[in-house]
Amino acid sequence: MAVSLLSAIANIMAEPIYELGEFYRSRNRANNMGEALEEYIKDAFAGTISEPIEQLRLHQLQEAFSYAGNQNNPPDIIIRGGDAIEVKKIENAGSSLALNSSYPKAKLFADSPMITKACRECEEWTEKNIIYAVGVVNDNHLKKLYFVYGTDYAASAEVYERIKTTIRDGIQTIPDLEFTVTEELGRVNRVDPLGITYLRIRGMWGIKNPAKAFRYIYSGNNAADFELMAVINSEIYNSFPADDRECIERLANEQDGFKVVNVDIKTPDNPAVLKPAMLITYGG
């Protein structure tokens, strides 16, 4: 059985690490806060937060994940037989996520041109749910951690592709331009009279962070030393192993500040339609 977001949350609650930079630099596992946050997310899912022996940790990571990617292609991690994970670091709770040339994903598809061959072939798969794991980090300190599934956060691919296509087609209607289709939005060649200047046209996508996107169901806790929030639609939540659900619900009864509540969230493709979800929060 693939590891779940619920088990990762339970591991974080059991072994919270707030001084990420110091912790991961001391173990020679990260050189910067972005890397430290990604390593913490890996450890949370794999159950290796407190594993001091690197070889044992690496073997456990191998069991948990089929793919660990690079910064230039989504996703950052794929759970073996389970979800994909995209890790994002921001510096304050009001910041948006910079997605650069990759628009937000409701799901990850094996035929996407944005993923690598290694990702496509890491296991047998055609589509995966994707978890956005967003950390707010100030001065090496992890202040907030948000988890949200792409299906609850991003519109369907055709919404974004339509915008890309409209822009690309519009550029091609400009007279006297030599336009070349590329993996970006396009390239205009021979812009100047000498024909030596070209213009690259890139999409720079961004999206509000989960705390701002879901402000209508959770107002946050700015006074907390550490805050955690996860939004999981009920269909996905109920698909998790019963043991994981029982563990999270037991934490809600035993851990001060830890809550699991039923909410209704907007459907990204049609906000007029609400769907049931679980909101998991901690502020302490």
**pLDDT by residue, tens only, the chain of 284 residues:** 679 999 999 999 998 888 887 888 776 666 688 888 999 999 999 999 989 999 999 999 999 999 998 777 889 999 999 999 999 999 988 999 998 888 999 999 999 988 999 999 999 999 999 999 999 998 888 999 999 999 999 999 999 989 888 887 887 787 777 877 777 788 888 888 888 898 888 888 999 999 999 999 999 888 888 999 999 999 999 999 999 999 999 999 999 999 999 999 999 999 999 999 999 999 85
pLDDT of residue 24: 80
Cα–Cα distance for residue pair 47/20, rounded to 1 Å = 16
DSSP character at residue 76:
S
pTM, full prediction = 0.92
Phi, then psi, of 168 in degrees rounded to 5: -60, -45
Nearest partner of 80 among 47, 122, 44, 51, judged by Cα: 122
